[in-house]
Amino acid sequence: MNDRLRGRYPFEKTLQQVKQILAELPLSVRKLFRVIDRSVMDSIHSDPAATLAITGVQGISFNNSADGPELRAGKGGAHGYFPDFKEIRTGFVAMGAGLNKGAVFPEIGLEDVAPLIAKLLGLELKQADGVFYPGMLMPAKKQN
């Protein structure tokens, strides 16, 4: 491991032990989740303090109860999915003063909501990961 990574992951021995424990689980359990490496997490701007992530495969969620199985069939909303399949996406619906009635955007990210709210409130958002989509707001009325 190079020096840059050594400073980033001060608990490398523990990380390797966790990976080993996960790898030694029965195949019937390992097939229900995926381990997401830090390089993949970096590509979607995940929490930089996390060294790895575990995601349930489609249709499987994690149980945070002290009783019952750790993994179970997922139904309805659940947290802990890696955002790489469309079935976990949800809609965004907004209405109110200033919004362009009937505007449809096939896909926006959660990070795109902040620039929209800033525009509606007339605030300058100096730094944001999201973008403001033209057409979300009503066109400005022409002054005579």
Q: Does 75 lie in the same domain as 10?
A: yes
Look at residue 2 in the predicted model and tell me its pLDDT: 44
- 132/130 Cα distance (integer angstroms): 7
- 60/78 Cα distance (integer angstroms): 9
Q: Does 9 lie in the same domain as 66?
A: yes
Residue 68 within a domain: yes
* Total number of domains constituting the chain: 2
Which residue range(s) make up the domain with 75?
3-88
Digit-by-digit pLDDT tens for the chain (144 residues) are 444 454 555 678 888 899 999 999 999 989 988 999 888 888 887 888 888 888 888 888 776 766 766 666 666 555 656 777 777 777 888 888 999 998 988 888 888 999 999 999 999 888 888 889 999 998 877 766
Task: Give SS3 for 138.
Answer: coil
Residue 144 within a domain: no
Q: Does 123 lie in the same domain as 76?
A: no
The distance from CA 40 to its chain's CA centroid, rounded to whole angstroms, is 12
Look at residue 12 in the predicted model and tell me its pLDDT: 82
Q: Does 107 lie in the same domain as 77?
A: no
Taking the model in full, what pTM does it have? 0.56
Q: Does 98 lie in the same domain as 45?
A: no
Q: Does 45 lie in the same domain as 10?
A: yes
**Other beta carbons within 10 Å of 60:** 17
Alpha-carbon distance values, 12 to 1, 4, 76, 81 (Å): 9, 13, 36, 24
Q: What mean pLDDT is reported for the chain?
A: 81
Q: Does 97 lie in the same domain as 75?
A: no
Mind listing the pLDDT tens digit for each residue in 105-123?
A: 888 888 899 999 999 999 9
Look at residue 3 in the predicted model and tell me its pLDDT: 47
